[in-house]
Structure 1
Amino acid sequence: MIRRPSSRAVIGQWVLLAALVIVAWLLIATGGANLARRNMSLDFGFLANSANFDIPFHLISWQDSDTYGRALIVAVLNTLLVSVMGIIGATLLGLLVGIMRLSANWLVRNVALTFVEAVRNTPQVVQIVFWYVAVLQSLPPPRQSIDVPGGILLNARGVYLPFAVMNANGALLSSFVLAALVATPIVWRLRIRQRRIGVKALVLPLVALSSWVAGVERIEWPALKGFNVAGGTAIPPELVILWAGLTIYSAAFIAEIVRGSIEAVPKGQREAAVSLGLKFTQVLFLIVLPQALRMMVPPLTNQYLNLIKSSSLGAFIAYPEIFQIVLGTVLSQSDRGVESIILVMVVFLTINLAASAFMNWYNGRVAMVVR
């Protein structure tokens, strides 16, 4: 039976809406009056002006003569990169630590507990600065680079990885590889529902790998030349440190979410699975975690949104994300404080709303349906 709201409730809703509109109007009017008092106006035309500064790390092409608008795009992409990397890393590490918290082994259980308590009870910015000073400053200069197996070089200027140079058909093959990788989890999910998981499930990943190999012309290996490393691709240390800081800090909270969700699954589920002869890993990944996932998603959404917003801490270690670029360099050069703040707020609001919408959609897919 659907109950209609009472007249008092309807009147209260309209009064609240009117109050919100009045507050919003007062804020806008006050802001406009303050700008007019300073002979200023709200104008985003400065985004078309030349930036005249360098951005050391960028995913798309960048030159000093590019505009502030392109600098904004570069900064947004850098923010998205470290955020996605942080979400993936924090989820995997948090899942591992959360499972360790429930281990029957005393040492494993208490190591995980110590990690959680030490990380989540210290400020995040302190941890990021600590990793930046303790790890980055202790790395050797390029001429004494640490040679990691696999052709990887590590020094104070970053991590240098081998780079695959694609041939003329590389762009087309790369698009096909990306499409195959995106389709893989969809195909796997369908085959799981049909209970037909087997060797055929590896067809798409193998086709993607073969296509990528076919598009590679040569592999560039990083090597020391003179006083620096040449060849390969370089990952700036600021990106690695910020990613590690965001991952470790968020993983401590995610670990507790995982632990609590697993403990919320009725013990009878595990006992029934054990009585059927299933192994520990089968019980965990086939019985317990799928049920715990339904309880994990809402609190995980909060952690993911906090991680995205915490990417702005990259300004403390000079990582060129949106806060450091727009509210740092762009603001100091253009003297457009209000516009810069609005841009940063709109970008974070858009990213977080998109992430929240996706997580809400996923939560609806995995939530238990009560009939």
Structure 2
Amino acid sequence: MASRSNSPISGIQSLLRDERFWKIAFQALIVLFVVDLLWHFSATLNDNMLGRGIKFGFSFLKNPAGFAIGESLLDYEAQDTYTKVIQVGIINSLRVMILGVILATIMGIAAGVASFSNNWLLNKISRAYVGLVQNVPLLLQLFFWYLAVFFSFPAPRNPFVFPNANLSWFVLSKKGIYIPGPSFTPDTWTGLILLAVSLLLVGLFFNSIKVVRSGSYRGGIGSLMGYGFNLLLIPVLLVTEFFLLFNWNAGKGVYFKGAFPSLMSSPQGLWVIVLLVLIIPLVVLARWRTKMIAEQGESGKPQLIAIALLLLLGLVILLFALGWQSPVAALKDDGTFTGGVTGGLKLSLEYAAIVTGLTFYTGAFIAEIVRAGIQSVSQGQWEAARSLGLNSGLAMRMVVFPQALRVIIPPLNSQFANLAKNSSLALAIGYPDLYSVANTTFNQTGRPVEVFLLMMATYLIINLLISFNMNQLNSAVQFKER
């Protein structure tokens, strides 16, 4: 008779000794616990609302809002529904976020690179800017820009005109800031904003297709859930992209036209589409030239000439086809100002204050990230660049900074997300962003739970899109090992 120690292990015993089983079981228990916790919270919330005679739901969004909004790219009136109010707030928030990210990145890179400048004054200004802005609360900075800077502008009937009344480039008054700009309609600006959001979704869409095609669901419950999530995400993204890009009718719950119909509603918008189309041959030619130089040892001069011609065409379109206008302050016969301004691009004081505050604040943190990224590049790279005859500027631009990107981009992700979230402080200076209009909405409707859920979902989606695309960019700049 065989001894007990030599008997084969049963299937259950083998399963209990398998480390992979316990990992999957632990993940399944955590998922069940989270689902049960959310179910408990939602049931408690529903009971409390029913006890107060309130039924959870979003039907109140169809009711007239009854309050005005200071500025909006959408055609909004006080009698419009709360649904349109929320959409106006989202568009206004995206206006701040998109321009803020662009300007803060430029400011941060400039200040970070300037900290390595051989110019003593430039170096000290950069360090003083970072040290001062980082240690002052953002809300205080917003009040400073709005009350101490922009709100100190002269009255509309006595504006500050630069350089003079006959050749005005900038007109500043309490009525707003007027600067040279393209003659875009509100629909054109809305189309550009929707196009920017659509580009963020495109990266997520192609990644979901890649996950589904690769079959990366093998290997545990986490991978299985990720595979299922990406599988469900593909049709959702397709529908969302359709509305953002090709929705021709503004109404019935969606009070904006898609990006392309909005752009095609004006001649300047059509030229913007042409500029976007030019990007495709530029990318193709650039990759073709790189392949010719690397694989066949050719000069790539024909491709370079074609790229230069396309860039020249784009520059001509940018300068002459977009209808650039300078602001003109209206004058009376005696030469005094009437308070009216025609032409140019108008920025409200509230919008200018929130964008300026977020730009300088976030730019200071980006400057430190850039400085740390540049310092991470070994000194040998500097010496190798100088041995090739490159001056400090070319060495920074062509050798050091591209290598520093692998260190710069991951923390840059957090700063962009912080800027998106900090834009909600616009409420403090009266700019009608999402949080501002939502705050008025739940005060009037008595529906704070539903309104806050909408706000949380919106900010969550925006930050997830930022995080995902920055992660994709980070993967692209990392060194590829063979």
Q: TM-score, normalised by structure 1?
A: 0.90
Task: Find the residue that maps to 2:75 and give its secondary structure.
Answer: coil
Equivalent residue, structure 2, for 1:158: 176
Displacement of 1:20 after TM fit?
1.8
Runs of 4+ aligned structure 1 residues displaced above 6 Å come to 166-169
Identity of aligned residues (%): 33
Task: Find the residue that maps to 1:144 and give its secondary structure.
Answer: coil
Equivalent residue, structure 2, for 1:68: 82
CA 1:20 to 1:315, structure 2 compared with 1: closer, same or farther past 3 Å?
same
Equivalent residue, structure 1, for 2:400: 288
Alignment of 1:335 with 2:446, yes or no, is yes
Q: CA RMSD in A?
A: 2.6
Alignment of 1:223 with 2:329, yes or no, is yes
CA contact (8 A) 2:157 2:338 kept: yes
Equivalent residue, structure 2, for 1:113: 127
- Partners of 1:142 and 1:192 lie apart in 2 by 54
Alignment of 1:315 with 2:443, yes or no, is no
Task: Find the residue that maps to 2:157 and give its secondary structure.
Answer: helix
CA 1:166 to 1:254, structure 2 compared with 1: closer, same or farther past 3 Å?
closer
Alignment of 1:206 with 2:312, yes or no, is yes
Equivalent residue, structure 1, for 2:42: 28
Letter in 1 for 2:459: F
- 1:220-269 CA-partner distances (Å, limit 9, x unpaired): 74323674323224210111110010011111111111011101011111
Equivalent residue, structure 2, for 1:123: 137
Q: TM-score, normalised by structure 2?
A: 0.70
- Partners of 1:96 and 1:303 lie apart in 2 by 16
Q: Select which of 82, 87, 100 maps to 2:96.
A: 82
CA 1:290 to 1:107, structure 2 compared with 1: closer, same or farther past 3 Å?
same
Task: Find the residue that maps to 2:154 and give its secondary structure.
Answer: coil
CA contact (8 A) 1:125 1:313 kept: yes
Count of matched residue positions in the alignment of Structure 1 and Structure 2? 367
- Partners of 2:376 and 2:160 lie apart in 1 by 46
CA 1:274 to 1:172, structure 2 compared with 1: closer, same or farther past 3 Å?
closer
Displacement of 1:203 after TM fit?
2.9
- Partners of 2:127 and 2:55 lie apart in 1 by 54
More divergent stretch after superposition (308-317 vs 49-58): 49-58
CA contact (8 A) 1:142 1:224 kept: no
Q: Select which of 380, 405, 418 maps to 1:306.
A: 418
Task: Find the residue that maps to 2:383 and give its secondary structure.
Answer: helix
CA contact (8 A) 2:184 2:269 kept: no
More divergent stretch after superposition (339-348 vs 49-58): 49-58
Letter in 1 for 2:450: E
CA contact (8 A) 2:282 2:307 kept: no
CA contact (8 A) 1:177 1:209 kept: no
Give unpaired runs (5+ residues) of structure 1. Answer: none
Q: Select which of 139, 145, 153 maps to 1:139.
A: 153
- Partners of 1:44 and 1:253 lie apart in 2 by 39
Give unpaired runs (5+ residues) of structure 2. Answer: 1-17, 186-264, 294-299, 332-336
Task: Find the residue that maps to 1:151 and give its secondary structure.
Answer: strand
CA 1:358 to 1:221, structure 2 compared with 1: closer, same or farther past 3 Å?
same
- Partners of 1:333 and 1:315 lie apart in 2 by 17
Alignment of 1:99 with 2:113, yes or no, is yes
Letter in 2 for 1:228: G
Q: Pick the structure with greater CA Rg.
A: 2
CA 1:79 to 1:281, structure 2 compared with 1: closer, same or farther past 3 Å?
same
- 1:62-85 CA-partner distances (Å, limit 9, x unpaired): 222222111111111111111111
Equivalent residue, structure 2, for 1:366: 477
Q: Select which of 17, 29, 54 maps to 1:15.
A: 29
